Structure 1
């Protein structure tokens, strides 16, 4: 962009976590993304880094196989953050601002104009809460190349032919800086306003803003916003900027399939140790429209401990299981 004939780099809006909620939401909807300063405390970030360091130590001299080709080889990826520890799961996901963003933007309260159909299957109203789609840490080390600019909702094969609308928002992404993030060590590139573009409008690199952040700051953005992880160009591996860590959380509408299959990726014993609100958020809850049911009930209402203890014999041969005393009363 240019101002008075001179080139000016695009900028992301920055608001403190204490800013009025309406201002935060309005900025998010207008620009497609913004930086919230001080989302998490320095102590909270330090505790999250301890969890990450259990898996990937700060040293740069160990081998690691990056999954797929989308992430640079020098970026170490830790999936399933929600299940690693309360400080990387519950305590982040239940942050007051993130909880309100989910409730205000993603939580669906459906009212139908009629009540045709059976009362059970098609109620006049339906409540469809959002889910945690993906929780992952990106630990970018020196030499990592820039990602291609992309939209996160490409995972659902989404097309953009209609004008942008609040009702069409599918997901909110939250990238929380675990270390200082600057352009030189790979700060995320964001194209402000690109959440309103159709698929024919391609971004140019000079339209990008860089999400430079201090630990505890967060980039919050819509899944239709074009963005990319930057290139870590730090050559001195002893530099405090050599390692760039992003703790990343993505929340989607409840009718969409979650990107990470957390019903499989997080061990059941870990799930049983979670709070009920986290169990619901990762997918063990049916909406009031019955999406996600087990035996036409919400899994959380049946009881996850009971569900997880069901045997194949009980499921496949109930009569024999009853005779053997395997089916509980």
Structure 2
């Protein structure tokens, strides 16, 4: 995975176009967005790992059954299928540096203004986070802090840092969590720049229920020629498929059924 993303990373901080001001992402962290568009090794190979496919089907794939008046004495029962989508994919390349702070403990699903109440229900699950270590990740170089069980909390429950555990991982290990879980990226405190722990790389994937707006705008962030080079399953996962409820249609059809080349060729004069 590292070999795949290295050519896409800038050689210096000054070359990096996505330097994020503020404190949420430390300035020492390089962010490579649209990770799944960088090659199959960090795209389809990860997203369609059998474990992740199974988790998405169990936790995020929606099958909604409704009974409606069919316009006669008969009632019509229909099940609508709403598959999950990739909401965000990004590589965090964290280098040591003076003053790099850890993130605040947060919930990723707050991007949707989510309200958390008790008791927690399985239906409340909105997103699944997958963090894969590209290098060894330990407390000293910024391993992710996680509060196990915090997805069960309501919004009144204030997280405390002493409740968090460090998700220390070897390269290739993964942390999988619900997006209602309080967590935070740690601070890289390694001072020896020659240490094998000086660099911490994390490949991050977030999968959400299909009715939610994707956090990363896949339609603008991934070039169309790259999308056309993906296989149909990846095109569907990043949002180019209408759900069974018709959400996401083009001319009341699923974009992948219309044909993405045809959809992309539309202009102001021919639609």
TM-score range (shorter-chain normalised) is over 0.9
Paired with 1:181 and 1:117, the residues of 2 have a C-alpha distance of 57
Q: Counterparts of 2:189 and 2:96 in 1: how far apart (Å)?
A: 6
Provide the residue aligned with 1:211 in structure 2: 167
8 A contact 1:66–1:74 mirrored in 2: no
- 5 Å-filtered alignment, 1:220-239, equals 220-239=176-195
Q: CA deviation at 1:68?
A: 3.8
Is 1:80 the counterpart of 2:39? The answer is no
Residue 168 of structure 2 aligns to a residue in which SS? coil
Q: Secondary structure at the match of 1:67?
A: coil
CA distance in structure 1 between the aligned counterparts of 2:3 and 2:68, rounded to whole angstroms: 52
Choose which of 173, 186, 198 in structure 1 pairs with 2:129.
173
* Corresponding residue for residue 4 of structure 2: 51
> In 1, distance between residues paired with 2:221 and 2:84?
19
Alpha-carbon distance change, 239 to 273 in structure 1, aligned in 2, over 3 angstroms: same
Distance change (3 Å), C-alpha of 1:110 and 1:310: same
1:264 to 220, 227, 235: 220
Matched, 1:243 2:199: yes
Q: Does 1:135 align with 2:89?
A: yes
The runs of 5 or more residues in structure 2 that have no matched partner are: none
Whether the aligned pair in 2 keeps the contact of 1:146 and 1:228 (CA below 8 Å) is yes
Shift of 1:123: 6.4
- The answer for the alignment partner of 1:288 in structure 2 is 244
Deviations 1:51-108 (A, max 9, x none): 2211226x7x643462242200000000001111111111110111001100111000
TM-score, with normalisation over the residues of structure 2?
0.93
How far apart in 2 are the matches of 1:269 and 1:234? 40
Structure 1 segments (4+ residues) deviating >4 Å: none
In structure 1, distance between residues paired with 2:237 and 2:155: 31
CA distance in 2, matches of 1:76, 1:250: 18
Highest CA radius of gyration, 1 or 2?
1
Is residue 2:269 matched to residue 1:310? no
C-alpha displacement at 1:125, in angstroms? 1.0
Pairs aligned (count): 262
RMSD of aligned residue pairs (Cα, Å): 1.5
Alignment match, 1:153: 109
